Amino acid sequence: MRTRYRGFTLVELIMVIVILGVVGGMVAVFMRGPIDAYFASARRAGLTDIADTTVRRMARDIHAALPNSVRTPASQCVEFIPTKTGGRYRETGAGALDFSASTTSFRELGSNAARPSDQQIAAGDIVVVYNLGIAGSDAYANDNTAVVSAAPTETGTPLETTIGIAATRFPLPSGSNRFHVVPAAAPVVGYVCTGGQLLRYTKALPYALPGSCPTSGTSTAVLANHVSACNFDYSGSDLERNALVRMSLQLTDSGETVSLQHEVHVNNTP
């Protein structure tokens, strides 16, 4: 007896393919919305993370700015002189900082070696005393700055640190005998929005106030991409103890936009 085998005809196979195509199209219509929403959410999360990290980095730098050094040449940029550490100089006695004549060294009260390694004063760093940000006492013009000429040495009990500097006569003493130290590698730091990017640049001293936002410096690094807008506003005069930097940053990618606002308190007590 002959066995008969049954299978699909070509017509049946084509009908199945058509039906699967219709069902697949219907499923795709319903799935497209959630899938698009997922990718949009992922883009927003990525932009938010970039904006938050960027703003925190700028805030950290501005917090450590030399008093009365923050300035905004235009609304798309902000500049300041960073500090790595500070201390108190000896006012009287051996090693006192002399304001009546040019001096090549002074003593700091305390130990330089006790500082964290990235905050220790080193040759090439810049000492600033009583920066007011005005003519005659402006670190941008090197009015009240001196370059550290050699690695500091320590002596005495309690320990004091002798700091050698290039021959300098500082114009004004600090009421609290304070001095600040600017790192040799980045005497001036700035942030600028240009070409869809947020850049961090450095400049050397002396450095006059530019007429517009710089787009490059001694060194330039990209801090964020997809920047569609930004604004920096500095509120505070040269002689106020406190000031405020307002920052707004807007990032846009594939139609998704994230805006972030942040304020940074600035201590202008020199």
**Pairwise CA distance, residues 219 & 210, whole Å:** 17
pLDDT digit string, tens, across residues 74-125: 999 999 999 999 999 999 999 999 999 999 999 999 999 999 999 999 999 9
Confidence band of 129 (pLDDT split at 50, 70, 90): very high
Token readout for 215 is 């787009």
* Beta strands at 77-80 and 188-194: parallel, antiparallel or unpaired: antiparallel
Q: Which of 93, 172, 100, 184 is nearest to 133 (CA)?
A: 172
CA angle 192/197/203 to nearest 5° reads 35
Q: Which of 78, 82, 81, 80 is nearest to 230 (CA)?
A: 78
Predicted confidence at residue 59, as pLDDT, reads 95
Give residue 99's identity as a one-letter amino acid code.
F
The whole-number average pLDDT for the span 29-41 is 73
pLDDT digit string, tens, across residues 150-196: 999 999 889 999 999 999 999 999 999 999 999 999 999 999 999 99
Residue 57: CB atoms within 10 A of its CB come to 15
Q: Which of 71, 82, 73, 83 is nearest to 194 (CA)?
A: 73
Enclosing H/E stretch for 262: strand 256-267
**Pairwise CA distance, residues 70 & 244, whole Å:** 10
pLDDT over 90, % of the chain:
73
**Pairwise CA distance, residues 246 & 75, whole Å:** 10
pTM listed for this prediction: 0.85
Indicate the SS3 state at residue 47: helix
Predicted confidence at residue 270, as pLDDT, reads 86
Give residue 29's identity as a one-letter amino acid code.
V
Whether 170 and 97 have beta carbons less than 8 Å apart is answered as: yes
**Pairwise CA distance, residues 130 & 137, whole Å:** 7
**Pairwise CA distance, residues 63 & 85, whole Å:** 12
| Residues contacting 258, CB < 8 A, separation 6+ | 44, 47, 48, 51, 250, 251, 252
Residue 128: CB atoms within 10 A of its CB come to 28
